[in-house]
Amino acid sequence: MVLSGRKVAVVGMGGAFPKCTSLDHFSDQLFSNQSLIREWDKAVAHGKNVRSTVSGFITEAEMNLETVFSTLLEGYPEVYVDLLNRIPPANLSTADIGSIWAMLGSLDAIKMAGWTDKETESETTGVVVGSGGGGHEIQRNAWHNFFELGKKTRLVGSHTVDRAMVYRDAANVSCLIKNKGVCESIGSACATGLGNIGHAYRLIKFGLQDRAVAGGVEGTSLETFIGFDAMQVLSRGFAPEESSRPFDKDRNGFVCSFGAGIVCLEEYEMAKARGANILAVIDNYFNNSDGDGDMFYPSFAGQQRLWKGLLGNSGFKPDVVKAHGTSTPAGDAIELLSIVDCLGTKGYHISAPKSQFGHMLGAAGAVEFITSILMLQKQRVLPCLNTVNLNPEQENFQKTAAWDGPKSPMADFRDLLPQKSIDKEINSITCLNYGFGGTNSAILISKDN
């Protein structure tokens, strides 16, 4: 159901990105077709106990942070020190590494938005930031010291709870910027980042807030990495820069990566009136569930309904589709065929940013939303790196009597998937993200006219 409401603008963005020192550096790397994926020493250190060893990870040093370890607890990060003094020590004391990235991204996004302290601290400014998981570095060491080493609870750290609670990212951002509006966190697996932005969009559209800091985070964590490695869904057998290969015939899993994406949203007329630089306009957001009872397998019918909810019967076709594109065998095939089923085979291109930095899980949708805004700004389509060969044969599910989607093999859609960044007039982009549990999210953005 589509309801009328206010228009929403994107006015600021920031975050934490693998191997990059700033948003501009991140943009430069992406549009020069670089991969930000590398061998992860922490995974390599576990030898054959870990199957995959590549990641788009971020170290503390790369974010100008220093870890101060407890003198009483083995391996426990007592606090992180901001070497550039961007965040006050009191705020650092309640934050895990992902929350710190969220705070840094929020400061950058607010600065770009040009919001005053009065606007930021208003009752009409909300915070909606979530993560897929986190606080692991804090919890693992705290519980190891209690359960295995027999240390007293009072030594486990007085901030273990607030540094590991579900909505720690939103809470830390809210305490830093002192907003008085909404403060909440939505967790929806790999659709988290886009889902939080979509929810913030709705809060503004329907008049519950005038502004919002929104996005997703996934702090570097070996626990997260080995969990997916145990599922045998991570890429292996390729050089790091070739390991994330959405839609390619030889794809064998995703690259588990980490980062943060934060954006500032504002009611359009307010942004316009104060002379804000409007980066993009959000035209619609829609999310749904597959409803088939399957926790993991993608649903063609669910994605059909997602497209229907986003575009209705308008016949509208975006210039670019920013795909979820994880590099998983079934996920990529279903996604590509659902896009073609809705949009046809001409007039648009598909971009797969995970091919350049991997799958950031709870941060994926937010960071990829930022890459979509960068595409609008640059008027360039980001590539599907490593999409060298597409399957010239039908997928097995296409051969079943129950399949009612496109019958053509993936190779027939080669022209939709540029392997390098290309120039293109871009006025609108659809962003897609999906998650475990059958959750699907789509958002439509456009240039400000």
Spatial distance between the Cα atoms of 440 and 268, rounded to a whole number of angstroms: 26
Of 312, 311, 315, 319, the residue nearest 447 (C-alpha): 319
User: Which pair of tokens denotes residue 119?
Assistant: 């606007």
Angle between helices 364-378 and 192-205 (to 10 degrees): 70
Spatial distance between the Cα atoms of 186 and 171, rounded to a whole number of angstroms: 12
Say which residues have a Cβ less than 8 Å from residue 264's Cβ, sequence separation at least 6.
10, 11, 12, 13, 109, 110, 112, 113, 115, 211, 212, 213, 214
User: Which pair of tokens denotes residue 73?
Assistant: 């607890």
* Per annotation, catalytic residue among 190, 256, 264, 431: 190
Residue 359 designated active-site:
yes
Beginning with the edge strand found earlier in the chain, give each strand of the sheet holding 349-351 in spatial order: 183-184, 125-131, 211-218, 259-267, 8-16, 280-289, 439-446, 428-435, 320-322, 349-351
DSSP state letter for 234: B
* Per annotation, catalytic residue among 175, 199, 264, 324: 324
Residue 190 designated active-site:
yes
- CA-CA-CA-CA dihedral for 156, 162, 164, 166, to nearest 10: 150
Strand partners for 280: 10
Residue 144 designated active-site:
no
Q: What are the catalytic residues? A: 190, 324, 359
